Chain A
Amino acid sequence: AQKVTQAQTEISVVEKEDVTLDCVYETRDTTYYLFWYKQPPSGELVFLIRRNSFDEQNEISGRYSWNFQKSTSSFNFTITASQVVDSAVYFCALGFREFYFGSGTKLNVKP
């Protein structure tokens, strides 16, 4: 069975702090894809990153970075120097044909 766990329900930080959102997944397949999406209050899911199961190289995009560790089945997301505009719900997803989403982590960045 496919399953994604985001244990952090809600995180609050003060602007400019770094914050890491955890994601742990379960799958028996050797080939799969992992995604992070951002859902602002408007409701639309905004694609942030895709990673395939064969590529464990970490990635950095501006203030965002992702740490994929296959050995621990984790795909964590770090925001450096957080900003108020980062406030949203963030979802980790395991992709096959359809996506399996975690329950999301609500990030509150306070000024």
Chain B
Amino acid sequence: GAGVSQSPRYKVAKRGQDVALRCDPISGHVSLFWYQQALGQGPEFLTYFQNEAQLDKSGLPSDRFFAERPEGSVSTLKIQRTQQEDSAVYLCASSPRESALSNQPQHFGDGTRLSIL
């Protein structure tokens, strides 16, 4: 497709379960970002990939969060032993080239709304 695609659109899980969220970036985009957006807040950075390399994971809130992009295209964000505070919208974004400074607009997907019961 033309845009960033995320699946599932909605995910409901019980506390303690593991979840996996998928992101298909725009074809050819080198950079991929994950953000977490709590209700009523702006997105907060989680992690960044340049191709398959995870160059920054400083925003991941705990070691229960894990992200990968093994072939430099599709990325998966995994959350283990989910907690209620993990409930949020998880946004994926991509941009066309690597950059130490983000002068390119990031293209965002519609997000995955995660609800932990």
Stretch at the interface among A38-46, A61-69, A75-83: A38-46
A97/B108 in contact, CB under 8 A? no
* A44 proximity list for chain B (CB < 8 A): 108-111
Determine the distance from Cα of A91 to Cα of B37 in the docked complex, in whole angstroms.
Answer: 12
Determine the distance from Cα of A93 to Cα of B59 in the docked complex, in whole angstroms.
Answer: 16
A91-B45 in contact given A33-B102, A43-B111, A96-B101 (Cβ < 8 Å) = no
A97/B43 in contact, CB under 8 A? no
Nearest CB to that of B111 among chain A residues?
A43
A98/B102 in contact, CB under 8 A? yes
A35/B105 in contact, CB under 8 A? yes
Asked if B62 is at the interface (CB within 8 A of a chain A CB), the reply is no
Asked if B84 is at the interface (CB within 8 A of a chain A CB), the reply is no
B56/A98 in contact, CB under 8 A? yes
A98/B42 in contact, CB under 8 A? no
A101/B102 in contact, CB under 8 A? no
Determine the distance from Cα of A96 to Cα of B48 in the docked complex, in whole angstroms.
Answer: 12
A43/B89 in contact, CB under 8 A? yes
Asked if B23 is at the interface (CB within 8 A of a chain A CB), the reply is no
Determine the distance from Cα of A7 to Cα of B43 in the docked complex, in whole angstroms.
Answer: 16
B48/A98 in contact, CB under 8 A? yes
* A35 proximity list for chain B (CB < 8 A): 105
Map CB proximity to B onto A81-102 as digits: 1 under 8 Å, 0 otherwise: 0000000000101011111111
Asked if A31 is at the interface (CB within 8 A of a chain B CB), the reply is yes
Determine the distance from Cα of A84 to Cα of B35 in the docked complex, in whole angstroms.
Answer: 29
B110/A99 in contact, CB under 8 A? no
Determine the distance from Cα of A47 to Cα of B96 in the docked complex, in whole angstroms.
Answer: 14
Determine the distance from Cα of A37 to Cα of B35 in the docked complex, in whole angstroms.
Answer: 14
Map CB proximity to A onto B73-105 as digits: 1 under 8 Å, 0 otherwise: 000000000000000010101000001111101
Asked if A70 is at the interface (CB within 8 A of a chain B CB), the reply is no
A-B contact pairs, 18 of them (CB 8 A): A31-B101, A33-B101, A44-B111, A47-B107, A93-B42, A95-B103, A96-B101, A96-B102, A97-B55, A97-B99, A97-B101, A98-B33, A98-B48, A101-B42, A103-B41, A103-B42, A104-B40, A104-B42
